[in-house]
Amino acid sequence: MFRRVSRLLLSFVMLMAGAVVGVGATAGAAHADSCYTWNRTLSQGSSGSDVTQLQIRVAGWVTSGERLSYDGQYGARTAAAVKKFQAAYGLAADGVAGSATFSKIYALQDADCTPVHFTYAELNKCNSDWSGGAVSAATAKANALKTMWKLEAMRHALGDVPLTISSGFRSRACNSAVGGSSTSRHLYGDAADLTGSPSFCRLAQQARTHGFSEILGPGYPDHNDHTHVALDPSPYWSAPNCGI
Ligand SMILES: [Zn+2]
């Protein structure tokens, strides 16, 4: 009871503070997202770091086997991915990233830039600082972010079903402890093991159109109890029990 009252009081105080701050604030000011804000419309021919930021968010919206480059160049493949993203979220699918597209992305991302349905903690149950893998901690964490955006796309395409991640980034020590391969993509931070529902085969099949170059599932040794997805530079899919 006390907690509820104090919370109410707190929201009232915040409301009042907001009202005071609101005086003199510019109405209709451009959206400032706490993660990243785009300041221009992007379309084919655009280039720059804002294009790369966009590519990270739409890389899960590709065709089977395709992997979008994070190269900062808004080419035909980026336009096609933006179109798929727009269509998936009920926006006008013109392949041009303007305010409607950015607003949807803002709604889909948290302040730490992770997509709303995934967290860094879910992608790293090994240690707190992403160290000890096959790449630098910063690279491992950045790779995990890219994987999360692909999973967000896959989750939406599956009908907004929650996806359960049993393992993501692993340091060499964590990887050895679970008997992972010495060349495992988990050491790079871009791998995720999916459990729960939908079925492992459904997950493996769906992953093909969301930018994962490595998919291992039922029928592949040691993968009957989860589906593994990752971004391996050497593409390899194997889930024989699922027709993959
Ligand atoms: Zn795995």
Q: Which CATH number characterizes residue 40's domain?
A: 1.10.101.10
79-88 pLDDT, tens per residue? 999 999 999 9
Q: What are phi and psi of 111, to 5 degrees?
A: -60, -25
Band (pLDDT 50/70/90 cuts) for residue 26 is very low
Give dist(CA 49, CA 163) in Å, integer: 30
- ∠ CA 235-87-109, nearest 5°, is 75
Residues with CB under 5 A from ligand 1 (ion): 193, 228
Q: Which residues are catalytic?
A: 223
Q: How far is the CA of 223 from the centre of ligand 1 (A)?
A: 8
What range does the domain containing 236 cover? 120-242
Q: How far is the CA of 39 from the centre of ligand 1 (A)?
A: 38
Q: What are phi and psi of 221, to 5 degrees?
A: -50, 135
Residue 168 lies in a domain: yes
One domain for residues 124 and 100:
no
Q: Check residue 30 and give its pLDDT.
A: 57
Closest CA to 42 of 86, 89, 75, 70: 75
Question: What is the gyration radius of the CA atoms in the chain, in angstroms?
Answer: 20
Burial 20-35 (b: 16+ CB within 10 A, else e): eeeeeeeeeeeeeeee
Q: How far is the CA of 16 from the centre of ligand 1 (A)?
A: 50
Looking at residue 159, which CATH number applies to its domain?
Answer: 3.30.1380.10
pTM: 0.87
Q: Tokens standing for 151?
A: 């999973």
DSSP 214: E
Q: How far is the CA of 186 from the centre of ligand 1 (A)?
A: 6
